[in-house]
Structures are given as C-alpha cells and as structure tokens.
C-alpha cells in the first residue's frame, strides 16, 4: 500500500470524497482540507498545540447558548465574517457590473445583537427616551441605485446604550431597537441616542485569544441598520460615528469609509422635525441605496 507522507495527507483526504454527490460541498471541503493541512504543515504544529486547539474549539462551542454565539464572535474577530460580507457584496457588484446606476450602500457585519420582532413604530418616534445617552435625530432617504425612492421599506435599527450595553445583555426587555417604514418619498426618521464604543464580550475563549494576540476588544460607536423592501436585496449595515475612538481598529474589522457619518452637535432649540429640545442634541443624516433582487 502507498505510504502517506506529511505532504500527502491532504490529497488523500480529498481523494476519499470520490463518492461525494454534491459538487459544491466537494469544492468547499477540498479547499478547507487543503488549507487546514497547509496551515499545520507551515507552522509544524506540535501535539501539545494541536490539543490546545481542540480544547479551544470545544470551549468555544460550549460557551454558545441562545443569547451567546462564541463561534460568530471568533469569526468576527478574525475578520472572517467581514470577509464573507465583502465577498457577498463583491458578487452582487459583479452581477450588476454592466448595469447603469450608482454604487449601492456598503454592507457590514450583522453582529450578534439583532433581535427579530422589534416594535414597529411610527416615523419620528424616540426609542432613546429614558435611556442614558445623548439624543440624536437620525434621518435620510432610501432609494434604489437610480435614485428612485423606495416607499414602505422596512428599516430595523438597534444599538447599545450609553454604557455600550445592548438590551439582550441587560435582561429580557427590548430597548433601543425598533422597526420603521419609509414614507412615500423613501424618507426615514427617528430619535435615539448617539452610540458609544464598547467591547465585544471578553469573558469567553475568544476574549482569552484576543488578549493573547495583544488586541483590544472595542468596536467604534455605531447604529445598526437593516433595510428590506420587496424587489430589493436586504442590506445589513451600520452607521459609524465619525468622532468615535477605535474607528481605525474595530475589533471585528467592520468599518467601511462610506459608512462613517458626521454627528453634528446642536444647541437646545427647535430640531429639524419641529421638536423642541431643551438640551443639546445631535443629528445624523444618511441615505441608503439598495440593489434590485437577483431573482
């Protein structure tokens, strides 16, 4: 029988898939096996290091529950989630390459804190009321890549509070999140707080890894936004606060230049929607462009 040497094992595993009936699965597993073996050969991984890896992966799986997804956090902090987002958007761009129209809004990571079923509120509602944080008026327009307004577009928004904590991390009641719908001209508007930077959860195996990598845990301040409308691809993205720390070292590599937004500060007085503010407030304006559905 042919004897396998260190450089042969990967191909032997790939050859063992001769009966695989799913060409895409065959392709993915072949590439995965090739790169996993190349990694271990390249660093000449020792049995002790291999066992440390097994224990890390096991602890990461066992840290997951219905409120915590440590493998997504691992993927996020190794830049893999953002790579998948970027690959997806590049694929969409190639599909549209020969069509006119402007570039669609850039996507970024969804993160672990989306919570389906947020309250559906009227445009202009204040979801920051009663929460510590500086009041901010968010507004803008949703169009397609030709500038045509998209009416009735679902706009989900969510963020942490002034301490950087999301509702999911604090208890069971939803807060600082809502779903709005654009008006006939594609406009959206709502009040919330100005988001602050915050650390990703550092009390699990991924936190230990980041510490050992010499990395901080922080994400720059951002408002999550998810937009979906019939006939258009769903867009998952953030608005980043321009003066936030960590914009150049987001722990999950999610920052896109086009998503960094000025948050001008305003003296007390009449806000753009006519509301009278008796303390200073911020505004954030951002327009979104959605791409037509692939189907």
- Contacts of a second copy in 35-74 (CB under 8 A): 35-47, 49-50, 54, 57-62, 64, 69, 71-72
Work out how close the CB of 155 gets to a second copy at its nearest, in angstroms, rounded to a whole number.
Answer: 20
Q: Which window, 6-14, 173-181, 191-199, 286-294, contacts a second copy (CB under 8 A)? A: 6-14
Query: Residue 223's CB: how many other CB atoms inside 10 A?
Result: 25
Query: Does 12 engage in binding with a second copy (CB under 8 A)?
Result: yes
* 212/279 with CB nearer a second copy: 212
Main-chain phi, psi angles of 222, to 5 degrees:
-160, 150
Q: Which window, 113-121, 182-190, 207-215, 263-271, contacts a second copy (CB under 8 A)? A: 207-215
Work out how close the CB of 50 gets to a second copy at its nearest, in angstroms, rounded to a whole number.
Answer: 5
Work out how close the CB of 63 gets to a second copy at its nearest, in angstroms, rounded to a whole number.
Answer: 8
| Member of 171, 172, 212, 276 binding a second copy (CB under 8 A) | 212
* 267/294 with CB nearer a second copy: 294
Which tokens go with 1?
């029988």
Query: Does 79 engage in binding with a second copy (CB under 8 A)?
Result: yes
Judge whether 108 and 85 are in contact, CB under 8 Å: yes
Query: Does 116 engage in binding with a second copy (CB under 8 A)?
Result: no
Please report, for residues 6, 8, 41, 53, 95, the alpha-carbon distance to residue 45 in angstroms, rounded to integers and kept in the order given. Answer: 12, 16, 7, 10, 41
| Member of 253, 263, 281, 288 binding a second copy (CB under 8 A) | 253
| Member of 23, 67, 88, 226 binding a second copy (CB under 8 A) | 88
Work out how close the CB of 44 gets to a second copy at its nearest, in angstroms, rounded to a whole number.
Answer: 6
Query: Does 3 engage in binding with a second copy (CB under 8 A)?
Result: yes
Judge whether 61 and 71 are in contact, CB under 8 Å: yes
Note the maximum CA span of the chain: 85
Per-residue b/e over 164-192, b at no fewer than 16 CB within 10 Å?
A: bebbbbeeeebbbbbbbbbbeebebbbbb
Work out how close the CB of 160 gets to a second copy at its nearest, in angstroms, rounded to a whole number.
Answer: 22
* 20/122 with CB nearer a second copy: 20
Query: Does 21 engage in binding with a second copy (CB under 8 A)?
Result: yes
Work out how close the CB of 162 gets to a second copy at its nearest, in angstroms, rounded to a whole number.
Answer: 25
* 34/275 with CB nearer a second copy: 34
Q: Which window, 119-127, 182-190, 247-255, 281-289, contacts a second copy (CB under 8 A)? A: 247-255
Query: Does 93 engage in binding with a second copy (CB under 8 A)?
Result: no
Query: Does 136 engage in binding with a second copy (CB under 8 A)?
Result: no
Query: Does 9 engage in binding with a second copy (CB under 8 A)?
Result: yes
Phi-psi domain of 160 (left: phi exceeds 0; alpha: psi -120 through 50; beta: other): beta
Query: Does 245 engage in binding with a second copy (CB under 8 A)?
Result: no
């Amino acid at each position: 029988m042919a004897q396998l040497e260190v450089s042969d094992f990967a191909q032997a595993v790939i050859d063992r898939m001769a009966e695989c009936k799913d060409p895409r699965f065959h392709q993915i597993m072949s590439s995965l096996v090739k790169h996993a073996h190349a990694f271990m050969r390249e660093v000449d991984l020792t049995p002790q290091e291999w066992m440390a890896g097994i224990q890390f992966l096991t602890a990461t799986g066992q840290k997951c529950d219905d409120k915590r997804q440590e493998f997504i956090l691992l993927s996020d902090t190794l830049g893999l989630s953002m790579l998948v987002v970027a690959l997806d958007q590049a694929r969409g761009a190639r599909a549209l390459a020969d069509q006119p129209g402007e570039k669609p809004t850039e996507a970024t990571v969804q993160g672990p804190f989306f919570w389906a079923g947020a309250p559906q509120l009227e445009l202009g509602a204040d979801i920051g009321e009663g929460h510590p944080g500086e009041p901010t008026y968010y507004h803008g327009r949703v169009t397609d890549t030709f500038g045509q307004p998209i009416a009735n577009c679902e706009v989900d928004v969510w963020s942490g509070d002034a301490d950087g904590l999301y509702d999911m991390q604090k208890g069971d009641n939803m807060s600082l999140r809502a779903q709005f719908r654009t008006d006939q001209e594609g406009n959206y508007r709502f009040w919330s707080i100005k988001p602050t930077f915050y650390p990703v959860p550092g009390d699990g195996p991924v936190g230990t890894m980041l510490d050992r990598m010499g990395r901080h845990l922080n994400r720059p301040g951002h408002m999550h936004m998810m937009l979906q409308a019939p006939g258009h691809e769903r867009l998952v993205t953030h608005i980043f606060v321009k003066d936030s720390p960590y914009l150049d070292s987001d722990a999950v590599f999610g920052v896109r230049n086009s998503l960094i937004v000025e948050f001008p500060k305003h003296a007390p007085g009449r806000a753009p929607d006519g509301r009278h503010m008796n303390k200073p407030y911020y505004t954030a304006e951002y327009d979104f462009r959605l791409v037509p559905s692939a189907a």
